[in-house]
Amino acid sequence: MAPPCRLFVIPARDVPIAAVLRRGPSRWYQLIRWDMDTDAFDDGAWFKGRIYEDRCDLSPDGELFVYFCHGGRTRPGYKDSWTAVSRLPWLSALALWPSGTTYGGGGRFVDDRKLVLRNGTYDAPHPDHLPHGLELVPGHAELRASLGEVVERADWSGYDHQRRLVFARDGKLFRRTADRDREIVDLNDRRPDPVPAPDWATARLP
C-alpha cells in the first residue's frame, strides 16, 4: 500500500482562500486552490522536483502565489532553482528570480502586489519574467510554519477565516468542531497528470 501524500496549507490573509501543496508520490507536487467557505477545490499545476513549503506565500487577496523550488526541467538561460510568482493554482512564472542554490529563496507578500524576497535584491529577475505589476519592498521574509503539534500526527495545522482549527493528516484535510473532527477531503487518490496552464494564468499582470 502506498504511503499517504503530505499536505501543507497556506491561507490568504484577507479572503477565505488557501493554497494546498500536495506532495506525493516521491518528488511530485500538486498545487490546489481551496475555497475555505465552500470547501471547493480547484486542481492546478503538477511539478516534479522540490518545492520548499516554508518559503512560499499567498497574496492577501488569494490570487498570487510566490514559491521557491529546485529541480524540474532546466532550460537554457535558467538555473535549477528559482523563486517565482504565479497565479493560484498554477506555477507558470509571471515573475522569476533564478537562484542556482537552495540557500535563501522564496518570499512573503506584505500586500496584494507588494512582495519581500528572502534574498532581497541579490538575485536579479530573469529578463523574460520581469516583475511587472509587482512592487518589491525591503523587509524580512520569515519562514512559514504550521501550529506544530496542536493536532497529533498532523503534517500541518492552522485556522480558517472563522477561526476553526483545520489540519492535514494522512493525506486528508480535517476541520475540528466542538464535538468532532470532520473530514473535508481525501487527496490521496491522485497521480501526476501535468497539463498546460490556461491562458488567464499566464497573462501579464496589469
pLDDT digits (tens, 9 = 90+) for 26-53: 889 999 999 999 999 999 999 999 999 9
Residue 60 lies in a domain: yes
* Distance in angstroms (rounded) separating the CA atoms of residues 110 and 59: 8
**The pLDDT of residue 177 is above 90:** no
- Of 102-111, 177-186, 194-203, which has the strongest mean pLDDT? 194-203
Residue 194 lies in a domain: yes
Number of domains in the chain: 1
Residue 1 lies in a domain: no
**The pLDDT of residue 80 is above 90:** no
* Distance in angstroms (rounded) separating the CA atoms of residues 148 and 113: 29
**The pLDDT of residue 148 is above 80:** no
By the 8 A CB rule, do 141 and 116 touch? yes
Tell me if residue 199 falls in helix, strand or coil. helix
Counting Cβ atoms within 10 Å, is residue 192 exposed (0-12), middle (13-18) or buried (19+)?
middle
- Per-residue pLDDT tens over the stretch 95-131: 999 987 778 889 999 999 999 998 765 678 999 999 9
Confidence of residue 79 (pLDDT cuts 50, 70, 90): confident
Residue 61 lies in a domain: yes
Residue 46 lies in a domain: yes
Range of the domain at 49: 6-202
Confidence of residue 76 (pLDDT cuts 50, 70, 90): low
* Distance in angstroms (rounded) separating the CA atoms of residues 39 and 181: 15
Q: Where is 169: in which H helix or E strand?
A: strand 165-169
The per-residue pLDDT for 52 is: 95
* pTM > 0.85: yes or no: yes
Task: Tell me the mean pLDDT in the region 143-152.
Answer: 77
* Distance in angstroms (rounded) separating the CA atoms of residues 140 and 138: 7
Calculated CA dihedral for residues 152, 176, 14, 59, nearest 10 degrees: 40
